[in-house]
Structure 1
Amino acid sequence: MSNEATEGARRPVQTEPGVLVHSGADRQLATEHWLLSTLTDSKRQAARREWDRNGITALPMGTLMSAVQIPASLVAAATGGRFPSAEVDRMLGEIFEGGPVICDPKGHRYYALVPASVPRTWADALDDWRAQDVECLGKSYYLCVPRLDITRHSEAYASYWSVPMPSMATLCPPLRVARLIAAGMHALGAEAGADR
């Protein structure tokens, strides 16, 4: 072996700096802590017990996030899917760029989690949308939030993550939510016109 080859074998291999990768369990735990931070310290343990026992707990809206309540009929009209279904869940994930959505099968509603400021910034639009049963849940509202691992429709749970929350503070882009509502209203209007 030549001297150059021997020296090359002794030199450490240069690598690029790595990227810190968090496991799914770490992200889920951080997201759970973030969601529960909407509660006072004394209420967090009770909320954890409710998640463990019932798979759902009520969290206040309007501090870290708000929720846009969208009727299933509007979502089905906008996506062309049936309620509830894995197909609609997948389409909502694409439409909202992975932003989290909760499905309430018994109430026939979806809840898109959005920034806390949306009830204020959407005040005029919400007045028009209320006729379609669209509501924005901000301060003074509570939302029943499923445990983070409940990601499929099941009779065992009252609600599920139609689009799971990928990490803490990741929310639906409000403009995308508004576009879905407008598309659903347009589709329902077109259906009503065709029925006449």
Structure 2
Amino acid sequence: MEWEQHGLALLPLGTLLSAVRLPQRLVLAVTGGTGPSGAVDTALDEILEGGPVICDPDGQRYYALVPASVPDTWHEAADEWRSLDVDCLGRGTYLGVPRVDLVAYAPGGRTSSYWAVPMQSAAMLCAPLSVARLIAAGQHLLAEQAGEEGSA
């Protein structure tokens, strides 16, 4: 019913899956994009090897869906990544999940969240190592950009 009325349903995390919240600026640094787009979505699909990703353009965030155990196993890394606004979301958290047919950015649509990389099957999630590599690459590129801006 939530999907029909709002285009989103709040689903609990931490049992079947968890999510890694990624700030848009980090994703755009890695993909070379300037905002939500098909090109950014295609790059994420390649980088995360088809693992599902939800984009929330209004919140300027992406959510990589990962195995439920990730928030527990990444506890130390997640603490370090908080300065980047990266967070591992698990038990006690709900995620707004778009309808399965919302697979492209539609500015001004009924809901702006969409599947940047659609879920292929319930069992296929993002590989944690691929997500960690994306975060590390983004952290490096953002630091480089900050250095270039500071020296200009």
TM-score (norm 2): 0.95
The answer to whether structure 1 residue 113 and structure 2 residue 65 are counterparts is: yes
Instruction: State the partner residue of 1:183.
Output: 137
CA contact (8 A) 1:56 1:158 kept: no
Whole-Å separation in 1 of the counterparts to 2:35 and 2:68: 27
Greater relative contact order (Cα < 8 A, sep 6+):
2
- Corresponding position of 1:25: none
The residue identity in structure 2 corresponding to 1:71 is: P
Q: Which amino acid aligns with 1:109?
A: R
Q: What corresponds to 2:51 in structure 1?
A: 99
- How far apart in 1 are the matches of 2:62 and 2:122? 20
Please, which runs of 5 or more residues in structure 2 have no aligned partner?
none
Q: Where does residue 17 of structure 1 map in the other structure?
A: none
Q: Counterpart amino acid of 2:95?
A: L
Structure 2 CA distance for aligned equivalents of residues 83 and 169 of structure 1: 29
Structure in which a larger fraction of residues adopt helix: 1
Aligned to 2:99: 147
The one of 158, 173, 177 equivalent to 2:127 is 173
Alignment correspondent of 1:133 = 85
Question: Structure 1: how far apart are the matches of 2:35 and 2:127?
Answer: 22
Residue 62 of structure 1 is matched in structure 2 by 14
Describe how 1:45-56 pairs up with structure 2 within 5 A: 49-56=1-8
Q: Which residue of 1 aligns with 2:29?
A: 77
Q: Greater CA deviation, 105-114 or 79-88? A: 79-88
CA separation in 1, counterparts of 2:131 and 2:60?
A: 17
Larger-Rg structure: 1
Aligned equivalents of 1:79, 1:149: Cα separation in 2: 24
Distance 2:2 2:16 in 1: 21
Distance apart, 1:158 and its partner CA? 3.0
For this pair of structures, how many residues does the alignment match? 148
Unaligned runs of 5+ in 1: 1-48
Q: 1:167 Cα deviation (Å)?
A: 1.1
Shift of 1:83: 1.4
SS of equivalent residue, structure 2 residue 88: strand
In structure 2, what residue type is equivalent to 1:147?
Answer: R
Which 4+ runs in 1 deviate beyond 4 A? none
C-alpha separation between the residues in 1 aligned to 2:139 and 2:30?
8
CA distance in 2, matches of 1:79, 1:128: 22
How much identity, in percent, do the aligned residues show?
A: 59
Q: TM-score, normalised by structure 1?
A: 0.74
